[in-house]
Structure 1
Amino acid sequence: MTATSTASIATDETFDPPLRPLPERAAVLLGRVDAPPRLVAHLRAVHDVAARLVEWVQRRCPGLEFDAEAVLFGAATHDIGKAVHVAELSGPGARHEEAGQELLLTHGVESGLARFAATHASWTAPGIGVEDLLVSLADKVWKGKRVPELEDLVVARLAGADGRAVWEWFMELDEALTGIGEGADRRLAYQMSHPLTRR
């Protein structure tokens, strides 16, 4: 796969579904590691959902401090290790997590941003921040998957930031995630329309 085709999947305008382009730095990195087309499409879908979550949190809970740019970069690169462990694009496996973090570090990405490749499936680990939780949440809800344990952790952070009752935040987050989930079929179809491996 050429860097040009990676850049095309990462940044060209899409209509069905409409997806935001990946951050330029992430798109360049995906080209450098010769990421498979389906991986780039997946990262674009997750990034778009992460952007929607970031906007929702900023609007609904302005008191919750977090690094929005880190969330967007993390979502755009969280599975980059699947460029090394390509079999994990279509099957289970966690080898891509540590490999992705190492790959990002090797390409000069700061450890605070490279961490998302390793933390996106470990939301209960010690030291997990709001940014990590939002990347993990985007990586689940993009395809309509709901994970109560993860959502409860996000709700706790929201409630802790503004003092509103947990049940109120639960209801609000549930409504937001239900709305995002309505586009899951289109996002999945977009991802599956791209080849699994490089040509």
Structure 2
Amino acid sequence: METDALRRALDEPGFRALPGPAVTLLEAVEAPPRLAAHLRAVHDVACELVAWVAGRYPGAGADARAVAFGAAIHDIGKALHPGELSGPGAEHEPAGYELLLSYGVEERMARFARTHAAWAGGDGIGIDDLLVSLADKVWKGKRVPELERLVVDRLAVASGQEPWEAFLALDDVLGRIAEDADRRLAFQAAHPVTAG
């Protein structure tokens, strides 16, 4: 049963709406309102990043639909492990992946629940996975040089630019996104960890 607090987190103005299938999933698992707020903030940043990549680096082959959905559900496993909403933990990653598969989400889309924290793993981590991971960091103003280097390398190869050129471009957009971190953090904090 959906709560008013969850509905507010999903509908409150200020950030892009989540994709319909993601909303349906969050409602089905009775996601904590804070989780929905977090997913909206990360999704908003991911949409901004993937639009920037598509416009400036179309050869990178970023799939805007996959990135948007991935950002919208990457932490859905925290509905099963709510302690990880306010503390550390990685149990939500495999749990979220399995949860999504159990709801009929295709593996290529469910993978973001696993890959958003495994970006350094290499094998099978594509530009879409890296963009979701990057959004999951920079939404709160956190910069991760190793992750950014992986994205820069992909952008440089796709465009034929020197890595330093791709770095400067990415650094500029991430700096601009990070400037709005306080607003996103306040949005997330305004929603309760539990629906009750």
TM-score, normalised via structure 2 length: 0.96
Partner-residue secondary structure (3-state), 1:63: helix
List runs of 5+ in structure 2 lacking aligned partners: none
User: How far 1:6 moved relative to its partner?
Assistant: 3.0
Question: How big is each residue's C-alpha offset from its partner over 1:149-182, in whole Å with a ceiling of 9 and x where there is no partner?
Answer: 0000000000000101100010110010000001
Separation (CA, whole Å) in 1 of partners of 2:83 and 2:7: 22
Q: Which residue of structure 2 lines up, in the alignment, with residue 2 of structure 1?
A: 2
Separation (CA, whole Å) in 2 of partners of 1:30 and 1:104: 10
Q: Which residue of structure 1 lines up, in the alignment, with residue 47 of structure 2?
A: 51
User: How far 1:63 moved relative to its partner?
Assistant: 1.6
Write the letter of the residue equivalent to 1:178: G
- Answer yes or no: is 1:82 the counterpart of 2:75: no
User: How far 1:9 moved relative to its partner?
Assistant: 2.2
Check whether the contact 1:123–1:133 (CA below 8 A) recurs between aligned residues. Answer: yes
Write the letter of the residue equivalent to 1:9: A
Q: How many residue pairs get matched?
A: 195
TM-score, normalised via structure 1 length: 0.95
% identical equivalent positions: 63
Separation (CA, whole Å) in 2 of partners of 1:101 and 1:3: 24
Seen in structure 2, the aligned counterparts of structure 1 residues 3 and 107 have a Cα distance that, compared at 3 Å, is farther
Q: Which residue of structure 1 lines up, in the alignment, with residue 111 of structure 2?
A: 115
- Answer yes or no: is 1:106 the counterpart of 2:79: no
Separation (CA, whole Å) in 2 of partners of 1:3 and 1:165: 50
Check whether the contact 2:9–2:34 (CA below 8 A) recurs between aligned residues. Answer: no
Seen in structure 2, the aligned counterparts of structure 1 residues 3 and 112 have a Cα distance that, compared at 3 Å, is farther
Q: Which residue of structure 1 lines up, in the alignment, with residue 132 of structure 2?
A: 135
